[in-house]
Amino acid sequence: QVQLEESGGGLVQPGGSVRLSCAGSGVTLAYFTTGWFRQAPGEEREGVACISSSDSKGDDRTYYVDSVKGRFTISRDNEKNMVYLQMNNLKPEDAAVYYCATAPACSSRWTLFAASWGQGTQVTVSS
């Protein structure tokens, strides 16, 4: 059974940083695109970032939504079967529940094909 578990959220001040973690079980995340999407109350789901499956060269392709480019970084640790989202210079509009999910490919439309995801982790940005 595929399970993804997000962690690392919390309350952070504007301009602060937090790192989200996504742990996979029953699935080898290296074989899939893995991404993070977020959803704030009353808002649509928004794909924040994704990272492609690891190819033979070890090169990972990434995608970021424009609003987080230069501030967020997605990465993976295949040995630990983990995917991370480093979030820097957080803004109030980044506040949401963040979910990690697998998908067939990494592109701007990846959330349309998102498969399994976890329960999410809340990120609150407030002073």
Mean pLDDT across 69-76? 97
Show Cβ contacts of residue 118 under 8 Å, excluding neighbours closer than 6 positions. 3, 4, 5, 6, 22, 99, 100, 101
Q: Residue 57: pLDDT band by 50, 70, 90 thresholds? A: low
* pLDDT of amino acid 17: 98
* pLDDT of amino acid 55: 66
| Three-state secondary-structure class, residue 93 | helix
* pLDDT of amino acid 53: 86
Mean pLDDT across 84-92? 98
Q: Residue 115: pLDDT band by 50, 70, 90 thresholds? A: confident
**Percent of the chain whose predicted confidence (pLDDT) is above 90:** 87
